């Protein structure tokens, strides 16, 4: 109950009558005289007229602009600034993409959505104002140790949004400060599970892991982490120098490998060229030998045919010319004998010859007798009738 002096009983009765009229009217518009508000405010206890509730100076017009009662920024105790809460002027206009938490007599009552809202004086108060927009928060630089014991300096940017104003108001004292601390601890934990090379190469994977861990913890706070971007990674100077040396060594290694591969390919090309050259050369030799052999065979065949024709003609001449033909044969044999003996005398070769080698006429006579005997034998064979079987 309110503590009211007895001398002001008449004005108190008028004030309570006006209050009952407003409560009974519900959501109807009511404009009270400024004197009534001043009287009520002067006799209210601190429990009724708290620092977040009613503003008697702006109550003369119930449709006052909501922007005029935000006030200036003030420190919220965490190094960041938050605007003062709007006062209860009965009729309020909630901006788009904002949610206002209303408490009635100290307990949660409802969430005001964008648009027109009517509040009960004294018993209703706007306790929290939550923005439903996406918020970008800079995560300050911090130290983290990788899995291979390398100390890194990292900073980033966190993007989040309030999805449940009730949990964001009553689930955590300062949602923005809490999620910043959670992002820092989560980033250190994730960095501790990865090596330096993997941290530098898989930054997107690290971002996704941090987002997943933050969302699991911030679900009870009514906050959803949309993106997390690691902005800068600063390894120690000695590690950077070692990395540069590794890069230089790797490039030299690749250059040497490429050079050796080039030399190897050049040797292969030279050997392949020699192989093809040898194959082509052997093919040429083969073709040359084949052509030469073919020519020799044809020449031998032609010589054989010529000899056969010569022998045939000689035989024909001997058979038809009689003694004249035999004299011709004897003359030819004598000439061949003399030529062979002359060639034998030119060469320094030891041979066994008959004792009468100088007797040309005797040698010719012997050869003619052999020739005659062979001719008589051929005649006998040709005139012998076949034996009956």
User: Mind listing the pLDDT tens digit for each residue in 118-153?
Assistant: 888 889 899 999 889 998 999 888 888 888 888 888
Q: Which residue has the higher pLDDT, 164 or 9?
A: 164
Of 73-82, 186-195, 333-342, give the lowest mean pLDDT range.
73-82
Count CB neighbours of 324 within 10 A. Answer: 11
* CB 368, CB 330: distance < 8 Å: yes
Q: Is the pLDDT of residue 41 over 70?
A: no
Q: Which residue has the higher pLDDT, 219 or 310?
A: 219
Cα–Cα dist 76/178, whole Å: 13
- pLDDT attached to residue 40: 39
Q: Read off the tokens for 153.
A: 């300096």
Q: Is the pLDDT of residue 21 over 60?
A: no
* CB 52, CB 126: distance < 8 Å: yes
Q: Which residue has the higher pLDDT, 277 or 311?
A: 277
Please, which residues bridge with residue 92 across strands?
117
- Helix axis angle, 175-191 relative to 203-218, nearest 10°? 140
User: Mind listing the pLDDT tens digit for each residue in 175-234?
Assistant: 888 888 888 888 888 888 888 888 888 888 888 888 998 898 888 889 999 999 888 888
User: Mind listing the pLDDT tens digit for each residue in 249-290?
Assistant: 888 899 999 999 999 999 999 999 989 999 998 888 889 899
Cα–Cα dist 202/245, whole Å: 22
- pLDDT attached to residue 157: 92
Q: Read off the tokens for 225.
A: 């982490």
- pLDDT attached to residue 269: 92
- pLDDT attached to residue 26: 43
Q: Which residue has the higher pLDDT, 297 or 18?
A: 297
Where do the structural domains in the chain lie, given as residue ranges? Answer: 6-131, 136-235, 259-321, 324-377
Regarding the domain delimited by 136-235, which CATH topology (the fold level of the hierarchy) does it fall under?
A: Tetrahydropterin Synthase; Chain A (3.30.479)
Q: Read off the tokens for 318.
A: 């001997």
- In terms of DSSP bridges, do strands 115-118 and 91-94 run parallel, antiparallel, or are they unpaired? antiparallel
Q: Which run of H or E residues covers position 116?
A: strand 115-118
- pLDDT attached to residue 356: 61
* CB 16, CB 40: distance < 8 Å: no
- pLDDT attached to residue 245: 85
Cα–Cα dist 116/94, whole Å: 6
Count CB neighbours of 191 within 10 A. Answer: 26
Count CB neighbours of 172 within 10 A. Answer: 18
Counting every residue written for the chain, the total comes to: 389
User: Mind listing the pLDDT tens digit for each residue in 145-189?
Assistant: 888 888 888 888 999 999 999 988 888 888 888 888 888 888 888
Q: Which of 183, 198, 173 is nearest to 140 (CA)?
A: 183
- pLDDT attached to residue 8: 40
Contacts of 68 (CB under 8 A, 6+ apart): 58
123: phi then psi, degrees, rounded to nearest 5? -90, -25
- pLDDT attached to residue 355: 60
Number of H-type helices and E-type strands within the chain: 9, 10
- pLDDT attached to residue 174: 85
- pLDDT attached to residue 268: 92
Q: Is the pLDDT of residue 44 over 90?
A: no
Count CB neighbours of 317 within 10 A. Answer: 15
304: phi then psi, degrees, rounded to nearest 5? -65, -40
Tell me the helix, strand and coil percentages in the chain, rounded to 5: 55, 20, 25
Cα–Cα dist 40/146, whole Å: 64
Of 31-35, 239-243, 269-273, give the lowest mean pLDDT range.
31-35
Segment 320-331 shows an average pLDDT of 64
């Amino acid at each position: 109950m309110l503590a009211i002096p007895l001398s002001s009983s008449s004005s108190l009765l008028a004030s309570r009558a006006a209050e009952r009229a407003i409560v009974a009217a519900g959501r109807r518009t009511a404009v009270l005289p400024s004197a009534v508000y001043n009287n009520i405010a002067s006799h209210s206890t601190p429990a009724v007229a708290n620092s977040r509730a009613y503003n008697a100076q702006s109550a003369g017009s119930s449709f006052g602009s909501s922007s005029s009662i935000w006030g200036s920024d003030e420190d919220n105790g965490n190094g960041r600034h938050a605007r003062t809460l709007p006062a209860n002027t009965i009729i309020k206009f909630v901006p788009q993409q904002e949610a206002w938490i209303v408490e009635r007599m100290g307990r949660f009552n409802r969430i005001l959505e964008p648009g027109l809202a009517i509040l009960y004086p004294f018993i209703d108060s706007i306790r929290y104002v939550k923005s439903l927009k996406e918020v970008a928060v800079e995560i300050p630089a911090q130290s983290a140790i990788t899995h291979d014991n390398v100390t890194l300096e990292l900073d980033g940017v966190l993007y989040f949004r309030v999805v449940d104003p009730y949990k964001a108001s009553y689930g955590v004292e300062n949602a923005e400060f809490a999620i910043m601390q959670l992002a820092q601890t989560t980033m250190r934990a994730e960095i501790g599970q990865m090596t330096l090379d993997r941290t530098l190469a898989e930054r997107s994977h690290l971002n996704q892991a941090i987002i997943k861990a933050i969302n699991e913890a911030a679900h009870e706070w009514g906050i959803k982490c949309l993106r997390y971007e690691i902005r800068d990674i600063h390894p120690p100077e000695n590690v950077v120098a070692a990395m540069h040396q590794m890069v230089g060594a790797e490039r030299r290694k690749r250059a040497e490998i490429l050079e050796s591969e080039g030399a190897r390919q050049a040797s292969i090309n030279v050997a392949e060229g020699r192989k093809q050259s040898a194959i082509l050369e052997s093919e040429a030799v083969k073709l040359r030998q084949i052509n030469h052999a073919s020519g020799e065979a044809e020449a031998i065949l032609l010589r054989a045919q010529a000899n056969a024709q010569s022998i045939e003609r000689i035989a024909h001449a001997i058979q038809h010319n009689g003694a004249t033909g035999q004299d011709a044969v004897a003359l030819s044999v004598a000439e061949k004998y003399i030529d062979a003996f002359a060639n034998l005398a030119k060469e320094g070769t030891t041979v066994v010859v008959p004792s009468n080698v100088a007797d040309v006429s005797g040698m010719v006579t012997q050869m003619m007798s052999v020739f005659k005997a062979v001719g008589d034998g051929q005649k006998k064979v040709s005139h012998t009738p076949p034996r009956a079987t």
